[in-house]
């Protein structure tokens, strides 16, 4: 017997983030669960933050992927517990680095919020000699930094 929930989870977790298409919803840790109720697959998705402009696009992409795979499905937005950068998987952190984005520390604490001052390692040359250029980078969840060693700009995925 094929496990419908497991199949649906595999489909849902492969959906790419629209702002960072090299990451999946699984990599980001925003796919919170998949269950089956009365023949309907229900995928639970947590936004990275409540004002995330991509949240509705992500929900629609997950629902569409499930429908295209033959599932009757809907997506539920989950606000509690709130998403944390600690939920980004090791694979997600690796992909961020490979794409020139400094990931947040894996053990980010709740007191490390958007505007916290922190040392950020350059994802390109690995130097710790970096400076924040702007609190907001290419998306609201990233800050813009510049490396003082290699002089390259880069995004840093903010902790929260």
Per-residue pLDDT tens over the stretch 59-107: 999 999 999 999 999 999 999 998 988 999 999 999 999 999 999 877 6
Burial of 51 (0-12, 13-18, 19+ CB in 10 A): exposed
**What does pLDDT average to over the chain?**
89
pLDDT: is 1 or 134 the higher one?
134
Q: pLDDT band for position 2 (50/70/90)? A: low
Q: Where are the domains of the chain?
A: 4-77, 101-157
The CATH class for the domain spanning 4-77 reads: alpha beta
Q: What local confidence, expressed as pLDDT, does residue 144 receive?
A: 92
Question: Residues 145-155: what's their mean pLDDT?
Answer: 95
pLDDT tens-digit readout, 101-124: 999 877 655 445 555 557 899 999
Question: Residues 136-154: what's their mean pLDDT?
Answer: 89
Instruction: Identify the DSSP state of 137.
Output: -
Spatial separation of the C-alpha atoms in residues 52 and 104, rounded to whole Å: 18
pTM (predicted TM-score): 0.81
Burial of 157 (0-12, 13-18, 19+ CB in 10 A): buried
- 28 — phi, psi (to 5°)? -75, -15
């Amino acid at each position: 017997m094929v496990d419908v929930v497991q199949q649906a989870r595999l489909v849902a977790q492969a959906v790419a983030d629209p702002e960072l298409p090299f990451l999946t919803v699984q990599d980001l840790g925003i796919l919170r669960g998949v269950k089956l109720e009365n023949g309907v697959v229900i995928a639970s998705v947590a936004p990275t933050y409540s004002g995330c402009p991509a949240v509705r696009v992500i929900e629609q992409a997950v629902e569409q992927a499930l429908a295209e795979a033959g599932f009757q499905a809907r997506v539920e937005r989950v606000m509690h517990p709130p998403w944390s950068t600690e939920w980004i998987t090791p694979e997600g952190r690796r992909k961020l680095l490979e794409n020139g984005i400094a990931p947040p520390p894996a053990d980010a604490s709740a007191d490390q919020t958007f505007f916290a001052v922190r040392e950020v390692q350059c994802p390109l040359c690995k130097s710790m000699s970096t400076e924040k250029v702007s609190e907001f980078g290419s998306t609201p969840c990233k800050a813009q930094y510049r490396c003082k060693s290699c002089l390259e700009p880069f995004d840093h995925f903010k902790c929260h």
